[in-house]
Structure 1
Amino acid sequence: MTRTRDQEMLTAFAGLADTLVADYDVVDLLQNLVELSSRVLGATAAGVMLADEHGELDVIASTSEATRLVEVMQLSAYAGPCIESFVTGRVVSLSDIADSPERWRAFRDRALEQGFAAIDAVPMRLREETIGTLNLFRDSTGELAPDDLIAAQAFADVATIGILHQRTLAESDAVRQQLQFALNSRIVIEQAKGVVAQTRGVSIDAAFELIRGHARSNRIGISTVAAEIVDRRLRL
């Protein structure tokens, strides 16, 4: 039985969502994104550029080496529809790459050389944050159908939410780890204070001052000093 367009779209979304499992790989997600976009939206090739923590874009996934060459050219010249989409946070379409503005000449020449005639650059954006672009290349001129453009933006949105969610979890894990380290360190410090107070015959407050003074004079962390005291590797 021939599958309807709606069925193809639903299957595509399901396939993209399947990538968003626990501990998923971002590269796997984006590779799935470009392959689905190329297959379902009729693109000759597709690619994703993602920004790093410094805002520098790089090619993360693509369906062909030709796509990569075009995008690398855009990156090197910092001029082209993909860059424009990232900077503005809007879809940038060229129904005929041959009619590209002169400022995009390097992109135009390389794209035509690779056999591409049209492109749609779709921002990977959530609210005010744009993290990259999904770029759809076609080998014939003309505009992408409106429904396909909406689907492309939806695909990009799903991937964007997944990536930002993972970043949030990673940041949360880092905070939790820092908090747990602080809690664990506090326990060791309390133990060290007890050891020093007993061996030196001083109060707990005075013991802590001795520990802190040693840490400062030797330019090492209080937690490190406390651990050495508890392990009997240091005697104040």
Structure 2
Amino acid sequence: MTSREQLLASTFVSLADTLVADFDVIDFLHTLASRSVELLDADAAGIMLADRHGDLHVMASSAEEARLLELYELQNNEGPCLDCFRSGRSVARDDPPAMRASWPAFTEQLQGLGFHSAQALPMRLREETIGALNLFRIEPGRLSATDREIGQAMADVATVGLIQERAIAASELLATQLQTALSSRVQLEQAKGVLAQRAGLRMDAAFQVMRAYARSHNHRLSDVAAQVIDGSLDDDQIRQGPHPTPSAAPRT
């Protein structure tokens, strides 16, 4: 196995390993950018990712020049990375005249920084495009077919890893929210029992009293329940508090 093949294998392992506890998305993307330069016939690389609103942001670059070019694309709404993200397909031009015909301002900026070729590969899984990998070359012309295939494979693996990491993070957040809700419900049931016993109320009446107090004071029902349990909320105070208005609702 050649050193390039070894580096390629190592890169795919790194890009697939997003399940570690200390996963760092910025470091992950910088790995993709730097390895793209090492493995492909490119002199610089940059990565843009979309936020949940679909707006692109510069996330990583192998060199400052690449970062500046990507920022220029966003600021001027022109360039291969934007076209790639919008279409979900790779974008390239054969030579500087063809580039100037498509992206006149961007091409001038590109050449001003010493590059003569720019192309973009989509970071896409099926129908979902989450960003694009920009590749810049000092020499004009496209990447070779082999390099394009390798670059796209790297972008694909990175995309799968990122989407997987996002799904796990969302799942963990949902699980945390559910556990919080369950804990709050247990606490509420406990508070109902405490108030019912102390104030001589039925359980359903105790709940209505706490709910009315939460509404009229714009408190979370879970917070009122906690105060009932620890005794910091006086029973008479909660029973004699102002009645809620029809439009009021407790914050949960």
TM-score (normalised: structure 2) = 0.87
Please show how residues 14-163 of structure 1 align to structure 2 within 5 Å: 14-18=13-17, 21-102=20-101, 104-163=103-162
- The 8 Å contact of residues 49 and 130 in structure 2, kept in 1 or not, is answered as yes
The verdict on how the C-alpha distance between 1:161 and 1:194 changes in structure 2, with shifts beyond 3 A counting, is same
User: Secondary structure of 2:122's partner?
Assistant: strand
Task: Tell me, in whole angstroms, the C-alpha distance in 2 between the residues paired with 1:196 and 1:94.
Answer: 74
Give the match's secondary structure for 2:46. Answer: strand
Report deviation, 1:103: 5.0
TM-aligned CA distance change 1:20 to 1:112, over 3 Å: farther
Superposed, 1:208-219 pairs within 5 Å as 208-219=207-218
Q: Is the 8 A contact 1:73 1:106 kept in 2?
A: no
Check whether the contact 1:44–1:139 (CA below 8 A) recurs between aligned residues. yes
Q: CA deviation at 1:42?
A: 1.9
CA distance in 2, matches of 1:159, 1:16: 5
Structure 1 residues 57-66 or 24-33, which shifts more? 57-66
Contact 1:97 1:111 in 2 (8 A): no
SS in 1 for 2:107: helix
Amino acid paired to 2:182: L
Alpha-carbon separation, structure 2, partners of 1:63 and 1:5 = 19
Question: Residue 181 of structure 2 corresponds to which residue in structure 1?
Answer: 182
**SS of residue in 2 equivalent to 1:227:** helix
Residue type matched to 2:94 in 1? S
Instruction: Give the partner amino acid of 1:16.
Output: L
CA distance in 2 between partners of 1:166 and 1:14 (Å): 15
Contact 1:12 1:40 in 2 (8 A): no
SS in 2 for 1:94: coil
Aligned length: 235
Identity of matched residues, %: 47
Residue type of the partner of 1:116?
A: F
- Pairwise CA distance, 1:176: 1.0
Residue pair 1:188, 1:226 contacting (<8 A) in 2 also: yes
Deviations 1:72-105 (A, max 9, x none): 1111111111100000000001232342244511
User: Which letter maps to 2:112?
Assistant: E
Determine helix, strand or coil for the equivalent of 1:92: coil
CA shift in 2, pair 1:211/1:124, >3 Å:
same
Deviation at 1:199, TM superposition (A): 1.2
The CA deviation string for residues 190-233 of structure 1, in whole angstroms up to 9 with x for no partner, is 11111111111121111111111111221212111100000100
Q: Which residue in 1 is equivalent to 2:225?
A: 226
Corresponding position of 1:204? 203
Relative to the length of structure 1, the TM-score reads 0.93
CA distance change for structure 1 residues 137 and 20 in 2, over 3 Å: closer, same or farther?
farther
Structure 1 distance, partners of 2:159, 2:54, is 15
* Structure-2 separation of matches of 1:227 and 1:26: 38
> What is the one-letter code of the residue matched to 2:82?
I
Match of 2:93, as an amino acid?
L
Is 1:95–1:119's contact at 8 Å kept on the other side of the alignment?
Answer: no
Matched position secondary structure for 2:143: coil
Q: 1:3 — aligned with what?
A: 2
**C-alpha distance in 1 between matches for 2:102 and 2:144:** 27
RMSD of equivalent CA atoms: 1.7
1:172 aligns with 171
